[in-house]
Amino acid sequence: MKILVSVKRVIDYNVKVRVKADHSAVDLTNVKMSMNPFCEIAVEEAIRLKEKGIATEVVAVSIGSKACQETLRTALALGADRAIQVEAEDGLDSLSVAKLIAKVAQDEAADLVIMGKQAIDSDNNQTGQMVAALLDYPQATFASEVLIENGEAQVTREIDGGLQTLAITLPAVVTTDLRLNEPRFASLPNIMKAKKKPLDVKTPADLGVEVGSNVSLVSVTPPPQRAGGIKVGSVTELVDKLKNEAKVVS
């Protein structure tokens, strides 16, 4: 079984986000970039399936400028067998990314596509579902457990009310939630080895995919700041404030 896992290079989750003064975008100059945390979980799941002998090959794919090769090298260091970069401008919209990933999945004849449920920059939570729709594959989003058996994936999903389990026929798309696994760290020898693993570069034209979007960004502004509150000295004072000042407790 072959697994395609997608990875996105995003602002590191520990970095404080700043909006540019002209409100055109978020300022990414000299900011630490990392693999999207949900993509790390996707890579980990793919590697575990390979370690269990269920998957035979793990291919990592990333859509973006040359810088995302670094993210692909991380995926290779973690255990992916080879990587594909689809060269495109950073910040391509989800539908274009989905079309590119869908085409790669088709060309690779991947049995399972594992993706993060959302990227922590655009917070869209949609690309995996779009890939599945474009390929007419079944999907299991927000996965917290994945079991592969008899050409089927039995996936437990984190939903608003609790957990739901679906059985989907492969080929299929799974998107990862936080509790699926705890990603490992790449060891130094593996980071060295990853430099020798194959990394192909393709363009959207190579894949026959036209990219573009009808959505334009008008402005990006900082969120309204909450005015700092006060410290209260005791529970009695707190209850008094809630009753008589904020009037949220009767």
Partner 1 sequence: MSVLIIAEHDNKSLKPATLNTVTAATQIDADVHVLVVGFECQTVVEQAAQVSGVTKVLVADNAAYEHQLAENVSKLVVDVAAGYGHILAPATTTGKNTLPRVAALLNVAQLSDVIKVESADTFVRPIYAGNAIATVKTTDAVKVLTIRTTGFDAAASTGGSAERQVLSQVITSDRSRFVKEQLAESDRPELTAASVIISGGRGMGNGDNFKLLEGVADKLGAAIGASRAAVDAGFVPNDLQVGQTGKTVAPDLYIAVGISGAIQHLAGMKDSKVIVAINKDEDAPIFQVADYGLVADLFDAVPELEKSL
Q: Cβ distance 13 to 37 under 8 Å?
A: yes
What is the rounded CA–CA span in Å between residue 94 and residue 213? 9
User: In this chain, which stretch among 14-22, 40-48, 64-72, 188-196 interacts with partner 1, using CB under 8 A?
Assistant: 14-22
Residue 87 Cβ vs partner 1, minimum distance, rounded to whole Å: 22
Nearer to partner 1, 124 or 190 (CB): 124
β-pair partners for 229:
none
172 contacts partner 1 (rule: CB under 8 A): yes
User: In this chain, which stretch among 48-56, 79-87, 170-178, 196-204 interacts with partner 1, using CB under 8 A?
Assistant: 170-178
30 contacts partner 1 (rule: CB under 8 A): no
Each residue 121-150 as x (binds partner 1 by CB under 8 A) or -, in order, gives xxxxxxxxxxxxxx--xxxxxx-x------
Q: Cβ distance 156 to 14 under 8 Å?
A: no
Nearer to partner 1, 64 or 138 (CB): 138
What is the rounded CA–CA span in Å between residue 51 and residue 122? 32
Q: Indicate the residue type of 225.
A: Q
Rounded to 10 degrees, what is the CA torsion of 233, 235, 238, 243?
-150
Residue 171 Cβ vs partner 1, minimum distance, rounded to whole Å: 9
What is the rounded CA–CA span in Å between residue 94 and residue 98? 6
β-pair partners for 61:
6, 84
Which residues within the stretch 189-248 sit at the binding site for partner 1 (CB under 8 A)? 213-223, 226, 228-232, 234-236, 238-239, 241-242, 246, 248
Which residues within the stretch 94-113 sit at the binding site for partner 1 (CB under 8 A)? 94-95, 98
Nearer to partner 1, 187 or 213 (CB): 213
**Cα 135 to chain centroid, rounded:** 19
91 contacts partner 1 (rule: CB under 8 A): no
Nearer to partner 1, 66 or 247 (CB): 247
β-pair partners for 158:
163
Nearer to partner 1, 69 or 156 (CB): 156
DSSP string, 106-142: HHHT-SEEEEES--TTT----HHHHHHHHHT--EEEE
Nearer to partner 1, 47 or 130 (CB): 130
What is the rounded CA–CA span in Å between residue 99 and residue 20? 30
User: In this chain, which stretch among 50-58, 107-115, 120-128, 191-199 interacts with partner 1, using CB under 8 A?
Assistant: 120-128
Residue 118 Cβ vs partner 1, minimum distance, rounded to whole Å: 7
